[in-house]
Chains A and B, each alone.
Chain A
């Protein structure tokens, strides 16, 4: 395929692969990046929110030319029942800053930009090339990959597996176990186009200001999951995702859930008269720290979704992907400078560096949250309904005295969940959160 030997091969051109390839190429390493899609981004799906901090550490001046949609000035967290939502909104003028903290992006466009930066830094990118397996020497060290192109083999000192949530290569090579159905969410998403002035008036925005909505409740029909709506410049991303294991036996279709969410009385007016131009689906690894596979070995290293680097509670993934990609790249550069090989022992430096960042600290902190959320279905059904009814009882003025209203609200909670149930749920949440 290519006779030349590379310092590193990066499998995949998503945020983690691009971060790794860029970091290494910029430092002068010979990098080959392989991507199965027609271009970087053609197979990638995300909501999507870009967290500036993680990218700033790779490309400090990314704001100069990256395709950014809107910077987020308002976050809306909703719990929904069939007719209502109870919301916690935070909007601040402070988010209209010189270097905004969060942006909405359109991944196919963003990834193309990031990929251009990678090539400008000197990496060789081969698209439309699917990696089929890892090549090993007689002692089992990974020394390259076989692809579906030409004679297919290509060699390097180290292979960075940025292959995404499905991670076929790592799995088939026995580097990690199959992803469990209770550790992964299936999300579907549509892109709805509207004139930008319509979006700005519907969401009370000026210029490039943006709003994001994250929602949970009866919209997931009893399954563990969330929905979202993000404002882009001239489009709205709307989607919903649930844990794969919950779909089994539910009879629910992902597109049926999405239609129901779009038709919710609180969402429908926001999308009115829009034109849908794409329907996408993707898996999100949500098992957290406890689902994390081996992250490195002789001649290989894992970054991004393939390593389960997602903080599901905070809807963070691309920033973990970029950070793990950068740290893997930096570790490989560091070894190269010291003229040391990419052995398992030497690559443990990657894990040491990861442990010092928010990536591992957050994943460790939330390690029991996925099990809590999956084991406490009330969070997605009973509680949103109770909250909505409580709010309605509280706000509706109907001649009932306030003390009676308070008693009615408390009674509704006790009846739906019993006092020990309520205390138990609170206790489990606190214990998982700490």
Chain B
């Protein structure tokens, strides 16, 4: 029997948007005295309920501002739900904005250990994977150069290599299939395919419907924070196309 690895129930996320940006003490005190801080409530997500079984690949589709990234953030555990619950089983590896978490002054090699620790891996474990990461990233001698001297492509390649060196139970992808140059792109796509075949559960966010159809077997359509439909990828794609008038 299939095992449920992600269970989202009645999820709601509310943001308090202050109408004017207050981010220093001086402004805060002045406006508090004048009674000028007003908040506007805004539900980025509301009443989202779905579950994902082990090994399923789910595409999350919707227009800009629909709440796709917010949903991923809640599932990744960086954003707290205002109401409802999200339960995930196993380790979640996000492949989002690769390399953004690197320390610029650190060399590539040092960042491998740092990023590994962020994902919860010991130094010893990362050491055993070190050569594999360096080889896959194709950085060669650049691995001993501070990351601040890397091109964005190099950073993304290193980030991708670290994040995919271990088998994740749940992989979160945000249109990162375009990493580096054409050659590396092919290689990373092949790597992702092997991860897929390993029975990894995947959440994939994309605007590109064709890509979602190619990679996913299920899809979730959200619009303005509400869930519109969840089910077979072909059905959802049809609904989405109809709504957007494509």
Whether both chains belong to one complex is answered with no
Interface residues of B (CB under 8 A from A): none
